[in-house]
Amino acid sequence: MTSAQTTAAGTVPAARVAPEGVTAAALPGTPFPLGATPGVQAGIAGTNFAIASSVADSVTLCLFDQTGGETRVPVLDNDADVWHAFMPGIGPGQAYGYRVGGPWDPARGLRCNPAKLLLDPYAKAISGSVAFGPEVLGQDQADPARPSTLDSAGHVQRSLVTDTGFGWQEAGRPWHRYADSVVYEIHVKGFTMRHPDIPPELRGTYAGLAHEAAIAHLTDLGVTTVELLPVHQNVPEAFLAGRGLTNYWGYNTIGYFAPHNGYSAAVRAGRPGGQVAEFKAMVGALHRAGLEVVLDVVLNHTAEAGPDGPTLCFRGIDNLAYYRTVPGDPGAYYDTTGCGNSLNAGDPITLQLMLDSLRYWLEEMHADGFRFDLAPTLARQEGGYDKVAAFLDMVSQDPVVSRAKLIAEPWDVGQVDSYDLGRFPPLWREWNGRYRDTIRDFWRSHPVGIGEFATRFAGSSDLYGTAGRRPTASVNLITVHDGFTLRDLVSYNDKHNEANGEDNRDGTSDNRSWNCGAEGPADDPDIAALRARQSRALLTTLMLSFGVPLLLGGDEMGRTQQGNNNAYCQDNEITWFDWASPDTALQDFTTKLIAFRRAHPVFRRRRFLAGAQASELQWFTPAGAPMDGANWADPNARAIAIYLDGSDDPDRAEDGTPLTDDDFLVLVNSWWEPLGCTLPQTRPGAGWHAEIDTYDPDAPGASGGARGAGAGEQVTVGPRSVMVLRAAPAG
């Protein structure tokens, strides 16, 4: 088509001449698989294009040459709402997009407009960036009932035909049991951007994360699983551009099959599409180091935002299929994400997209699992969150996805059931917000109740002790990307988000933090020492609690965001790791702590210890007496002794051998004064030997002579600290 096309949705400017070597005649093709698939049809090499839309009157495939020249090819074949065509001579590297003609009636949720170039929802790679303006936002019409006539092709990204073949060099993909996992959350760019041992051209990229210097930090630290902030292709919000900011975290997805091109050294070097092989090479390098790769995925909303947001893909293809709308008002988006829209996980087209995407990242890209952002949105029915919703049901039945690590962020911003902690099916693990809040409060000496602390420490049986769930259903966290870092948690009482340009109104004000006596950086050595002790106590609690520990990347080295608890838009030194001045003492302590957890299965129990197994987990007062009802009910209690019997674990190691261990006593004191603790009886012939003392980590046992102490003796636990004792033969 070389002349202007007029439809009910407006006028599309004439296409330029066909790219050199492109044959404009299309063959029928096949409706499966969706997306652009290079191959051979009837002995002819080319690419099959397939896109789903239940509302389109016409679909036009747009092919682009290196100068931006566009060839438009009508897609004439439609089977069961899938439009498809086979293009001879088209192969990997070809840039393309779609124009979809059909009804334009926003009040009824219909938004087809062939003036807008659209990405392929199944694009395996995406090139370019988005230039926000009226061409993309559709602001050229004063009357919203009339579609924009401005062509967006020169202002939006292109889909790329991609060859997904790759020569994997993995000896085998690692798999760590949940109980044995230590998850480490990082951002691809922020982790590597300032690393002095990574070549400058690789910093901030997948190749940078695959570099031996980056991997060495992970393996030396001892974590098992790297959880990457979103790596799907994303675009910044339009409003951030005016502030000179961008969406650093990446929670503004537009391509669910495409690795983000901004993290690719190959793309920087002028090789569009190279991000696919580069991502795979990164995964392969991490796997060879024994590290799993979990991806943070944003299947709850897209970058197209609300009704006034950009038209980039889904909105123009089939708005009602891809997005939930308000019942009785299809022109309004039903938003449980706070981002303007919610994906419609109840529609077959969208549900298929979600499952196809997850399988692709597992099978083709070799990811090991997913963390689902605002997961309740994926399981919302008309009555609210439903644990047997279509998406959760399909995941449990899928032979590929059901075997992956599946972690839910169990809250969104819905008006009904917005906090669904403990309500996901047994297959799932959940970020435990109750654990985070309790442990933060406990160590700032807030009266949360000693029973609440004990419940969180022991795996949150009140949340997960039914329906076949185990302590490993709880992903324990104290800090994550959203909120304060650990250093800031002990250095600031209040958020300091002025750099975000919203007058410090953004981000939560409920931080449950304590600045230890001064707001922000402090030269007072007593304050610095207190902050260090608080950090060690928090990290020790995290690593010794039953469940799956999640460590925010950089917490082990004292990373600060200068009090910014909502640094989603800070792609700069505020969020990038400062490798030049790490807190090496804290890093060494964290490394030893992770190794301690790995060495002792008693802290990695996979079952709740109650009933017949109660002797394996006992609770004592600091005076050495078993906890009773009055002790548990004491609102002022801030100390407890936890006895862990490692002699008879009902679980087994992977090779079937018993998981026996020594007995341990964990003495916890969140008082601001030292506390004498009486030691309980242990195994015959054994005494209590100090293993960890967060008050003075360089002198185990020095605070109370705990080395070799016997039952009935007293040890002194320092203020705001944890002491861990091991039962070992006397002498």
pLDDT above 80: residue 611: no
**Which of the following is catalytic: 237, 335, 409, 571?**
409
pLDDT at site 731: 52
How far is 172 from 495, CA to CA, in rounded Å?
A: 44
**pLDDT tens readout for residues 255-297:** 999 999 999 999 999 999 999 999 999 999 999 999 999 999 9
Nearest to 342 by CA among 364, 294, 375: 375
How far is 519 from 1, CA to CA, in rounded Å?
A: 65
Q: Are 250 and 189 in contact (CB under 8 A)?
A: no
Q: E strand or H helix at 553, and its extent? A: none
**pLDDT tens readout for residues 630-640:** 999 998 899 99
φ/ψ bin of 233: left (φ > 0), alpha (ψ from -120 to 50), beta (otherwise): beta
**pLDDT tens readout for residues 357-405:** 999 999 999 999 999 999 999 999 887 899 999 999 999 999 999 999 9
pLDDT above 60: residue 617: yes
**pLDDT tens readout for residues 181-231:** 999 999 999 999 999 999 999 999 999 999 999 999 999 999 999 999 999
Q: How many CB atoms lie within 10 A of CB 502?
A: 13
pLDDT above 90: residue 169: no
In which band, very low, low, confident or very high, does the pLDDT at 466 lie, cut at 50, 70 and 90? confident
pLDDT at site 614: 60
**pLDDT tens readout for residues 639-671:** 999 999 988 666 766 677 777 889 999 999 999
Structure token digits, residue 400: 């590929």
Helices and strands counted in the chain (H then E): 17, 34
Distance from chain centroid for Cα 439: 21
pTM of the model: 0.95
For residue 373, indicate whether it is catalytic.
Answer: yes
Q: Are 370 and 294 in contact (CB under 8 A)?
A: yes
pLDDT, average across residues 534-551: 98
pLDDT, average across residues 79-86: 97
How far is 311 from 463, CA to CA, in rounded Å?
A: 41
* Better-predicted residue by pLDDT, 704 or 476: 476
DSSP 50: E
**pLDDT tens readout for residues 99-148:** 999 999 999 999 999 999 999 999 999 999 999 999 999 888 878 789 99
Angle between helices 275-288 and 212-221 (to 10 degrees): 40
pLDDT at site 97: 98
Dihedral through CA 381, CA 387, CA 391, CA 393, nearest 10? -130
DSSP 509: S
pLDDT above 70: residue 9: no
* Better-predicted residue by pLDDT, 482 or 615: 482
pLDDT at site 650: 66
For residue 409, indicate whether it is catalytic.
Answer: yes
Structure token digits, residue 221: 């630290």
In 216-291, at which residue ranges do the beta strands (DSSP E only) sit?
225-228, 232-234, 253-259
Distance from chain centroid for Cα 240: 22
Average pLDDT, the chain: 93
**Which of the following is catalytic: 70, 180, 335, 373?**
373
Structure token digits, residue 707: 């080395």
Radius of gyration, alpha carbons of the chain: 28
Q: Are 307 and 331 in contact (CB under 8 A)?
A: yes
In which band, very low, low, confident or very high, does the pLDDT at 712 lie, cut at 50, 70 and 90? confident
Dihedral through CA 627, CA 629, CA 632, CA 637, nearest 10? -80
Nearest to 265 by CA among 251, 252, 279: 279
| Burial category of 4 from C-beta neighbours within 10 Å (exposed 0-12, middle 13-18, buried 19 and up) | exposed
pLDDT above 70: residue 23: no
Sketch out the chain's domains with CATH numbers: 5-160 (2.60.40.10), 428-599 (3.20.20.80), 609-729 (2.60.40.1180)
Q: How many CB atoms lie within 10 A of CB 505?
A: 10
